[in-house]
Amino acid sequence: MNVIALTRPALLKTSELVLGMHRLRRRVYRDRLEWKVSVSDGLEIEPYDVLTPTYLLDVDRRDVVGCVRLLPTTGPNMLAYTFPVLDGRTAAKNVTIWESSRSCIDPQNVTAAAENDLKQATFLLFAAMVEWGQQHAHQAIATVTDLRMERILRRARWHLDRLGEPRQIGTTKAVAGLLPVTADALRTIRAAGKIARPAIDAPSSTALAA
């Protein structure tokens, strides 16, 4: 299992990966969580996907078992445009802060880590997010998540600095916050997940390739 970083144009060149990611998002967000998301031909796709984000994909034998989408906070993003009510402070707009969204792990992936009963894919994806942020000199990752995912972050030892109080949005109790991109955060996540190597196999240039 390894994590790869791809921009949207690069991802579209690999149909197996792009279909796997959007199918996984449909299985998690519509089928399991029952969110009201847009699904077409079995794929969950939304307008933020056309903004050429970078994706981190957790891949196990060519199957996408985890993913997260990363967008700059200096442009359109979910916190500023879709969920501004969640931001108790001024929405972060900084070249050193990117937003993560559509983060999910395949519920059928059964490979668990030794600590806190979290899946190995979860620790790898979190470690990859910090690694990718470090490669690009970022200070933090902004995110909108539900309280269940906040508890998972806490179990993985990655502290979410809340930007405001949780609010009910549809069927979900959601909260916005900042996740630190620091050497200490990466060290803690790697230790909790028993990760002895870099999570991202590809160099940073992969993420920047068109």
Residues 34-64: pLDDT tens digits? 888 999 999 999 999 999 899 999 999 889 9
Does residue 207 sit within a domain? no
- What does the pLDDT read at residue 52? 85
The mean pLDDT value for 138-164 works out to 95
Does residue 89 sit within a domain? yes
> Mind giving me the DSSP string for 156-184?
TT---EESS--EEETTEEEEEEEEE-SHH
Q: Which of 51-55, 88-92, 94-98 has the lowest mean pLDDT?
A: 88-92
pLDDT beyond 90 at 119: no
Residue in the structure block whose two tokens are 């972060």: 92
Are 118 and 58 in contact, with CB atoms under 8 Å apart?
Answer: no
Q: What percent of the chain has pLDDT over 70?
A: 90
Does residue 28 sit within a domain? yes
The three-state DSSP-derived secondary structure of 15-42 is HHHHHHHHHHHHHHHHHHCCCCCCEECC
> Mind giving me the DSSP string for the chain?
-EEEEEEHHHHHT-HHHHHHHHHHHIIIIIIIT-----EETTEE--GGGGS--EEEEEEETTEEEEEEEEEETTS--HHHHT-GGG-SSPPP--TTEEEEEEEEE-TT---B-SSTT-BHHHHHHHHHHHHHHHHTT--EEEEEEEHHHHHHHHHTT---EESS--EEETTEEEEEEEEE-SHHHHHHHHHHHT--S-SB-S-HHHHH--
Q: What percent of the chain has pLDDT over 90?
A: 79
Domain of residue 49 covers 2-195
Does residue 210 sit within a domain? no
Are 180 and 143 in contact, with CB atoms under 8 Å apart?
Answer: no
Give the CATH number, domain containing residue 175. Answer: 3.40.630.30
Does residue 201 sit within a domain? no
Length of the chain: 210
The CA distance from 174 to 165, in Å, is 9
Q: Which of 3-17, 25-39, 84-98 has the lowest mean pLDDT?
A: 84-98
pLDDT beyond 60 at 204: no
Residue-wise pLDDT tens digits, 6-17? 999 999 999 999
Q: How many domains does the chain have?
A: 1
Q: Which of 24-28, 32-36, 73-77, 155-159 has the lowest mean pLDDT?
A: 32-36
- What does the pLDDT read at residue 90? 67
Question: Whole-prediction pTM value?
Answer: 0.91
- What does the pLDDT read at residue 196? 93
Q: Which of 20-34, 87-101, 121-135 has the lowest mean pLDDT?
A: 87-101
Radius of gyration of the chain measured on its C-alpha atoms: 16
The CA distance from 15 to 111, in Å, is 25
Over the chain, what is the mean pLDDT?
90
Residue in the structure block whose two tokens are 């501004």: 84
